[in-house]
Amino acid sequence: MVTLKDPTLLRSDCLIDGKWVTAPERTSPVTDPATGRVVGLVPDLGAAEAEAAIAAAARALPAWSARTARDRGAILRRWFDLVVANADDLAALMTAEQGKPLAEAKGEALYAASFLEWFAEEAKRIYGETIPAPTTDKRLLVIRQPVGVCAAITPWNFPAAMITRKAAPALAAGCTMIVKPAEQTPLTALALAVLAERAGVPAGVFQVITGDARAIGGVLTGSDVVRKLSFTGSTEVGRILMSQCAPTIKKLSLELGGNAPFIVFDDADLDAAIEGALASKYRNAGQTCVCANRLYIQSGIYDAFAARLAEAVRAMKLGQGTEPGVTIGPLIDSAAVEKVESHVADALAHGATLLIGGRQPPAGGNFYEPTILTGVTRKMKVAREETFGPVAPLFRFETEEEVIAMANDTEFGLAAYFYTENVRRVWRVAEALEYGMVGHNTGLISNEVAPFGGIKQSGLGREGSRHGIEEYLEIKYLCSSIG
Ligand code: ADP
């Protein structure tokens, strides 16, 4: 079990219509990926409970959307304060069910909180417009209104932040939201629901339902009461959900897979590039959709970069997230380890060289050593697929033109990174990369004030920033005749 300062944050029931719902005969265990131990039990709910949640969200909508923005903002602000005050417990829950090191988990709790604070403020800035009319007898206005009942389906890699990044703008806009968290990480979601309730979020405005993903997802996507789905997860599941939303023409925000290039030019600041590569590649054990997946290093700096990265990786500490000094935790499950193994084996079979790592530590479990592969080519799986693990494949390149072509040669377009000290190149490369987000001389780009999202098959819409709230608003045009 997890030890919390406030044990009431560990729930084994779901929040539906302001009530904590259990299903004594139907529960699913939540396990610690580092040890395999059961850390909690959550209800295994399905279609009927999803229907009930939709009905409650619809009932709660008129009163919630009628409140002033200031009022909704004040409640979100209280939720923010509570998430910050309980960051240690949220971190403990995340480390227990997801595996990330405690310091990283605490960082996520605060990152998750930042969306609540940001959108508490943005609620007050949902501006309309007046438009000069084409004739003297008309007055034209634009108002922005909440989309209505929204659903969110969230992943396990950021158990807290992927929820607040959706729920905060939804609630700020006046929408109500039902969250179906990933089956691996429901405990953090339920703790967030406890804090939402304590902050004064009314019954039905924010609900969390755990259980059968397909059954719940089917009801949420099929309902014509639900007007929007926000999903973060794999491109395959995103495609399925998008098609399920087609009959009701639902609004969609999709944050899907990435295959991020990380480009280091000969003229880069090597120290900065190593620091960025470590953060972007090995954070969350390589399990983020913006993690560097392909590292392109220019010939002149290739050997020096590889040697320095290996030295830095050697200093990393792999282990249980609760152990002091651990910088890299386990992967989420054995399937994730198998995928990483298959990518490394495929690269080695096609002529890559293992510089460091490349195996599971003898203790077993879902751990995989931070790994570096050199001599990597386009033929290998690591060039095309998202590895979602702690493997850095180093590709060698000669020219800027060549590396831009390789970097863009993917159906994904989420995040890209490049390192150069040449200011002309900064603009050329930043504009040429076909990605929704580009980091120059940094491996860390995510924050609440900037628009997060991808192009191509990495998704639709943006989260965070002033753009994030637009996803939860409809535009209404009012044409008034005074003639
Ligand atoms: P990952 O591969 O990272 O686990 P997924 O895309 O499979 O990502 O899962 C992300 C979220 O989508 C999770 O909450 C999961 O339960 C949910 N999910 C997966 N398949 C479906 C489905 N067919 N219908 C609805 N939700 C789904």
What is the full per-residue pLDDT of the chain (483 aa) written as tens digits?
799 999 999 999 999 999 999 998 999 999 999 999 999 999 999 999 999 999 999 999 999 999 999 999 999 999 999 999 999 999 999 999 999 999 999 999 999 999 999 999 999 999 999 999 999 999 999 999 999 999 999 999 999 999 999 999 999 999 999 999 999 999 999 999 999 999 999 999 999 999 999 999 999 999 999 999 999 999 999 999 999 999 999 999 999 999 999 999 999 999 999 999 999 999 999 999 999 999 999 999 999 999 999 999 999 999 999 999 999 999 999 999 999 999 999 999 999 999 999 999 987 789 999 999 999 999 999 999 999 999 999 999 999 999 999 999 999 999 999 999 999 999 999 999 999 999 999 999 999 999 999 999 999 999 999 999 999 999 999 999 998
**ipTM score of complex:** 0.98
Q: How many CB atoms lie within 10 A of CB 7?
A: 10
First to last CA, the chain: 71
pTM: 0.97
Burial grade of 103 (CB within 10 A; 0-12, 13-18, 19 or more):
middle
> Which residue among 117, 255, 400, 471 is the active-site one?
255
Tell which atom from ligand 1 comes closest to the C-alpha of 216: 25
Distance of CA 467 from the midpoint of ligand 1 (Å): 25
Instruction: Examine the residue annotation and report whether 255 is marked as an active-site residue of this protein.
Output: yes
SS3 439: strand
Q: Which atom of ligand 1 is nearest to the CA of 157?
A: 3
| Pairing label, strands 292-298, 260-264 | parallel
Ligand 1 binding pocket includes 370 (Cβ within 6 Å): no
Q: How many CB atoms lie within 10 A of CB 399?
A: 10
Which domains does the chain show, CATH number per domain? 7-256+458-479 (3.40.605.10), 260-440 (3.40.309.10)
Q: Quickly tell me which residue has 């084996």 as its tokens.
A: 345
The number of the ligand 1 atom at minimal distance from the alpha carbon of 214 is 24
The C-alpha atoms of residue 373 and residue 17 are separated, in whole angstroms, by: 51
Q: Is 346 in the pocket of ligand 1 (CB under 6 A)?
A: no
